[in-house]
Amino acid sequence: MSAPIAPARIDGGSANGNGVGEKHGSPESWRLGEPVRYENLTVFPVLSKSSADTGEFETLDEGLASGDVLVTEHGASDYLRRSRDGDARPIPQASGGAEVNRLVLINRGKKPVILLAGEIVSGGKQDRIVGKDRIVPAGGAPLPLDVFCVEQGRWTGGSAKFAAANTMVHPSVREKAAIDADQTKVWAAVRSGTVSTGRNVTATAAGGSATATGGAHASPAPRISAGSVSGVIANSAPSQSYRQIYQSPQIGRDVDTFADEMERRFAKSTAELKDESVIGVVVAYGGEVAWSDVFASQELFRAYWPKLLRSYIVEALARPGTVEKASLEDGRTFLEKLKGHIREDSEPGVYTWREIAEGHYAQIELEALAPSAMTLHWMKVLRNS
């Protein structure tokens, strides 16, 4: 029997007094680039001089597109597992029918698969979103997967299988899934566009300077409102499908135009970096710094960036225009780690999921434990409830 393999050291890590290597991916080692602004959206690039090797992982969209990953309704009887010798063999299932908040995932590939809360899988009896960040190891047993519905009015489908949607729901919906874990709140956020009340101020719980988002000045009305969403549902999306609503001609044109301009500005702003890589972003709406997504590598960030950007833009269009703009210092303050109440979940030898809550803020970390320890995804949220 071979000896156990020792945990690998992380790129740029050093050993502390206990001989434990520092985990790659920490706000202390990141730097914020200059803000990229358009209308009421500000995006701060998160820069790092080191980047972990994430080539041993696969994203959910990649796995579904290649066939390495199979997602199906719970209780379906037609899915297969790929054996080590390459043969496709049927997998027996437990009894029971399809469930709104439960799917089954099989990783038939050779790489662990990353799932991020808010990613859409399309098909089955309803479109669903992943409920929680996690890693699915290669070759494991069929995995019961907790999900949330983002297509309330449909419970039919010709196939139990799901396809890659290449879509991330916008932050208001994502918050209700990833942090509240509440299906009713997810549906409400889909229909309302945003759950932001405008009461929040920048960095008040993290000790930074506050910038009010309200005030005496009248703000332009949001282009995505509960009324406009209701109109799209009535005319184009009777099943209340998230994708049909937010990719409809009535809403999608504004998102496309905004995305093209924001992508151009972001690419121009980060084009001349020499010794640093873009590994994530901090996002502000008007004067309110509200969200961040940071990854272990530039490659992983680039894989998620197109659908993340569109999700931030949907949120921006659902909020009023404001004259206030978040400052670079506001963004830096937001990036500070929280020190509040901690909840953890893990699969031994695969990953640890950690949520830290402090005041109006929540921070979620997805830490890979193999093939080497690294924080694959770091997310911080200014809560709206």
Residue 282 falls within a domain, yes or no? no
Residue 105 falls within a domain, yes or no? yes
Q: What confidence tier does 128 reach under pLDDT thresholds 50, 70, 90?
A: very high
pLDDT of the residue at 220? 83
Contact partners, residue 255, CB within 8 Å, separation at least 6: 246, 247, 310, 313, 314, 317
Residue 334 near residue 44 (C-beta atoms within 8 A): no
Residue 66 falls within a domain, yes or no? yes
Q: Which domain holds residue 154?
A: 58-84+94-168
Q: What confidence tier does 76 reach under pLDDT thresholds 50, 70, 90?
A: low
Structural domains in the chain (count): 1
pLDDT of the residue at 222? 93
Residue 363 falls within a domain, yes or no? no
Residue 148 falls within a domain, yes or no? yes
Alpha carbon of 28 to those of 39, 68, 130, 135, 307: distances in Å? 30, 36, 29, 25, 27
Q: Give residue-wise pLDDT tens across range 12-71.
A: 333 333 333 345 567 888 999 999 999 999 999 999 998 899 999 999 999 999 999 999
Q: Give residue-wise pLDDT tens across range 234-274.
A: 999 999 999 999 999 999 999 999 999 999 999 999 999 99
Residue 268 falls within a domain, yes or no? no
pLDDT of the residue at 83? 39
Q: Which residues pair with 374 in a beta bridge?
A: 24, 368
Residue 137 falls within a domain, yes or no? yes
* Nearest of 193, 198, 196, 197 to residue 215 by alpha carbon: 198
- What kind and span of H or E run contains 268? helix 249-270
Paired tokens of 352: 């640890």
- The DSSP code sequence of 190-259 is HHHS----S--BTTTTTT----BS--SSPPPPPSS-HHHHHHHHHHT-TT-BHHHHHTSHHHHHHHHHHH
Q: What are phi and psi of 230, to 5 degrees?
A: -60, -40
pLDDT at position 378 over 90: yes
Q: Give residue-wise pLDDT tens across range 186-224.
A: 999 999 999 997 654 443 333 334 444 444 455 788 999
Q: What are phi and psi of 252, to 5 degrees?
A: -60, -35
Residue 357 falls within a domain, yes or no? no
d(C-alpha 245, C-alpha 242), whole Å:
5
